[in-house]
Structure 1
């Protein structure tokens, strides 16, 4: 069941007069002149969408009688057919993994990697430390050494006696007060 939309791009039925078609569309849509002018701007405008086939045909014929040529477009997305490439030939599943060479034997404290499948075979020559797993409740971080107390030399310092001036900067005198001898207060009546 397809859904359709009605699109108008300003095209008229052959022999129709533009001013008459504009008047007909204004009456049909009950729209003002400004809205009708936007329909004839040359751009494609969707007038109605999500219609079934019968309703879309009814709109098309009504608008054609009014003098406007419209397009009835399917809203269904176009599905592009794509031919898939054939699957690749399967490779043999079981390839024997060669025994490790004497150089690949793990040294003490080193991890020996044994591949579980063909994808892990790339990790055969990896030299990794064997960290192992700590027992439950064990500390995973080494204990930090005790920090040494820093030694400061205060021999060149002394304390000032109580109440002595510690060298704060004295504020300068603010200067003489302003002269107000020329001012006087009067009582107003």
Structure 2
């Protein structure tokens, strides 16, 4: 299956003002001025990678609706995947125990991704299907609100606005006349 990436070079459509396209792209990707400066620097920035053709096309259309131009390019296979697939399968080996090492943070692929390298996002697990999302329920005390001024309509009542019995007033237009054009 072909895998694609969406590449942005900071180009704006000819019929859109650069400031307007920049603002729309900022809203689309929810990024601040610093990241927008990197996006519109003119360098090759990979917006999204590892997409199928339909998903990559949706990204391209969204970016073009925002007023910018981008390209959808096929991704080359990663060498590590090719080596892993071509390696002969042998009998399972005994596990090798190594001392625990602190893994280094992955190196960002470009300046755009480097802007997000300091963002700390929690690693949240996904609950199994049908799981209760709230761990414990607490008894809540009722609020002290006086609702005695309100009443409920009986079941089956029409909740439309009440009809008024007054007839609309027709204005007197007897004093008005039309002039003929000459």
> What TM-score, normalized by structure 2, do the two folds share?
0.41
More relative contact order, 1 or 2 (CA 8 Å, 6+ apart): 2
Bigger Rg, which one: 1
Q: TM-score, normalised by structure 1?
A: 0.40
